[in-house]
Structure formats: structure tokens, C-alpha cells
């Protein structure tokens, strides 16, 4: 079975259960997965913005690290940033509808945007919310996330390593989903 972009949607759907188990165990049949890393407002300032809270690594530095991890894991990586809520909604829709996983640091929109939550839910995107800082150790208005309930998990407080941890967590989930027989 083949997806819109020519990638197999499922490596096991068209074969018998016994051989399906064999194929699922075979590295040769590992489905290629895609991850979109989406960044919201002010994350373009990473590296110079409030360094005591967010550290010294720039967003370009984060992108470079993740691209290296993705290349090593044979994962297709898209990395984006915008200061506009509607554009972030569009990025989520694109990722979700294409079956890519989403690692999202929505910045302040995390705490204000129902639209981002609806975009994740509406496209059935497999998403992980990340934050550089530990939002729960900060002001109370940062404790609430509209997206967290529709994400598979939330990683925060590990500096830019939050992105690495999210990448390590999302890839096996996407591979598992890609290997699942459809319908």
C-alpha cells in the first residue's frame, strides 16, 4: 500500500499475519518516517533572548543538531519557525495531513491558542509539545497549555535538549504507527 508521497503506508497490511510478524521484525522493512519541528513566536531570538532562562544556543543551532540526529536515524526532518499564529496553524495542518510527526514549541501561543490545539486534533497529528524552560517552575500563566491534552506528551525544562528528547521519543512512535496494518 502506498501513500501520497510514494512511501509505504503500511508494510504489513498486504501480507499474511505470520510473514507480517517476520517483516515487522526486519530492519529492511522499517518505514521511513517524517518529523516536522515547529517553532512559534520569539523562538527566532533563542541564543540572545533572556539567556538565563533559555540559554545560549540559537534556533539555527537547534536545527543543526536535529538535522544531524535525523540523518543518523534516516528520518525526514522539516524545521520551521514563525511569529504568526495562523501560519503555525498552517504548519501543523501540513504536517498532520501528510502523516508527519510534530514536535512543537509554540512559545507563548501554548498558553493562549485554542486554534493550535484544534489543528493538532483536527488533523490527528501525532505531536509532542516541548519547551526549553520548565514552564511549571515559572509564572502561573505558563502552567496551562491548550495543546497538552491533544499531544502524546510534553517535554520541558531540559534546555534545548528538550527537542532532542522529543525527537528520540517521537521516532519509535511514528515507526510503530507506520508498521500498523491499516483498516
User: Is 163 marked active-site?
Assistant: no
Residue 76: φ, ψ to 5°: -85, 120
Examine residue 131 and tell whether it contacts ligand DQA (CB under 6 A).
Answer: yes
Does residue 135 bind ligand DQA (CB under 6 A)? yes
Minimum distance of ligand DQA from residue 111's CB (angstroms): 6
Residue closer to ligand DQA (CB basis): 42 or 58: 42
Rounded to 5°, the CA angle 8-14-15 comes to 120
Which residues, listed in sequence order, are joined to residue 76 by a DSSP beta bridge?
34
- In the window 26-45, what residues touch ligand DQA (CB under 6 A)? 42
Residue 138 beta carbon to ligand DQA: minimum distance, rounded to whole angstroms: 7
Residue nearer to ligand DQA on the CB measure, 33 or 132:
132
Interface residues with ligand DQA (CB under 6 A)? Answer: 42, 105, 107-108, 110, 131-133, 135, 142
Amino acid at each position: 500500500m502506498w501513500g501520497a508521497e510514494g512511501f509505504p503506508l503500511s508494510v504489513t497490511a498486504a501480507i499474511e499475519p505470520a510473514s507480517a510478524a517476520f517483516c515487522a521484525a526486519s530492519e529492511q522493512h522499517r518505514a521511513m518516517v517524517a518529523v516536522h519541528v515547529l517553532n512559534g513566536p520569539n523562538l527566532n531570538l533563542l541564543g540572545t533572548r533572556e539567556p538565563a532562562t533559555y540559554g545560549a544556543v540559537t534556533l539555527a543551532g537547534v536545527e543543526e543538531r536535529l538535522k544531524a540526529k535525523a540523518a543518523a536515524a534516516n528520518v525526514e526532518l522539516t524545521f520551521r519557525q514563525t511569529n504568526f499564529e495562523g501560519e503555525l496553524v498552517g504548519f501543523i495542518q501540513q504536517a498532520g495531513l501528510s502523516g508527519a510527526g510534530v514536535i512543537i514549541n509554540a512559545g507563548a501561543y501554548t498558553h493562549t491558542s485554542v486554534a493550535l490545539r484544534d489543528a493538532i486534533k483536527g488533523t490527528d497529528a501525532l505531536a509532542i509539545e516541548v519547551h526549553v524552560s520548565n514552564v511549571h517552575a515559572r509564572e502561573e500563566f505558563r502552567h496551562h497549555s491548550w495543546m497538552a491534552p491533544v499531544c502524546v506528551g510534553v517535554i520541558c525544562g531540559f534546555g534545548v535538549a528538550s527537542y532532542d528528547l522529543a525527537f528520540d521519543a517521537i521516532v519509535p512512535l511514528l515507526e510503530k504507527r507506520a508498521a500498523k496494518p491499516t483498516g
